[in-house]
Amino acid sequence: MTISRIEGVALRGLRACVPEASRTLEEENIFHEKNERERLQKSIGVVRRHIAPPGVCTSDLCQRAAEKLLVDLGWEKDNIDVLIFVTQTGDYVIPATACALQDRMGLSSCFAFDINLGCSGYVYGLWTAASILKSIQVQGRPARALVLAGDISTARLLPSDRASVPLFGDAGSATALEIDSQAESWTGIFGTDGSGTKHIFIEAGGLRMPLLPHLIPNDISTQEALFKASRLHLNGVEVFNFTLKNVPPLIEQLLTAAGTNVEGIDYFVMHQANQMMLKHLAKKSGVPESKSPIAMECYGNTSSASIPLTIADQLADKFNQPREIVLVGFGVGWSWSALKLSINSIPRPQVDIY
């Protein structure tokens, strides 16, 4: 568990983007009984998810959000000094997708790299970008960063998997940061417990279990086994147990470190794992439901995009004045992150359609 602080960085704006196409659980045709579908929907809180069609990548959604955000802010493309892409569904094995995005967006030379994290990744991305901004010098203007976070998780699901298909949707996001000596300090807590590696797991596709045969083509049975191993395995019971055990103490520790309490925070925006889990977390942490927005009904669990997407969908009209915000990410890894920051008036966050 690591507690850290950053001074003099401000969040200037954010946007999210989802694919136009969407599907309901009924359209997935894996739960044939209406009562069964309704019970599941009531529990996880997901009715419809946006699904990226073949050929649309996470980077496309993030790029759309980023380009609209730059217009909102009136920032020139050659004024971006840091570009971080947070995803588990990059365009390529190599190079880092951030490099391709730097070129596609027409940005000047800048820090550009990927962070391979999911549920906790958005907060990690913000902290990393802010840390870099504090370390660089720019002539004539404040240093600026874009954090692009998102995933197309549905591309990694088995179509018949009743544990994951009802839950996951696709989305991207863009968040702008800027050096500001008047900005209030950020307080962050980060941690990892790698014993949870196999509970949210895609085993095949890396060098530990490659999909490409070394010398001769794989036989049919091996191909089928690799196909299944290259899709998401989700152990929902272990995820639930990990979350309820670790996240409430994480929130308490963050508030103590930041010198505040639940009453001093306007909104707690948590990774949108599932509705039942979020309500349990809020109750166990003493957070009123009015302070813990949920945006799962039409989007599902969108991995690293879920926090900014929730802000854009549920809190779009709340930033015409300063707000005290806590962001909490948790899950795959196991990995967790929490950040307390102040957000002053920013352009109205929006959810764009790709």
What residues are annotated to the active site?
119, 271, 301
Coil, strand or helix: which one is 89?
Answer: coil
Residue 93 gets the label, from left (phi > 0), alpha (psi -120 to 50) or beta, of alpha
Q: What is the CA radius of gyration of the chain?
A: 20
Strand ranges (DSSP E) for the chain?
2-6, 9-18, 22-24, 48-50, 82-86, 111-115, 144-152, 170-179, 186-192, 200-201, 233-234, 267-270, 323-331, 335-343, 351-353
Query: Could you give the CA distance from residue 204 to residue 211 in angstroms, rounded to a whole number?
Result: 6
Q: Which residues of 147-169 are buried (b: 16+ CB within 10 A; e: fewer)?
A: bbbbbbbbbbbeeebeebbbbbb
Residue 74 contacts residue 144 (beta carbons within 8 Å): no
Query: Could you give the CA distance from residue 133 to residue 116 in angstroms, rounded to a whole number?
Result: 20
Query: Could you give the CA distance from residue 268 to residue 36 in angstroms, rounded to a whole number?
Result: 31
Amino acid at 45: G
Tokens of 104: 């596609």
Coil, strand or helix: which one is 200?
Answer: strand
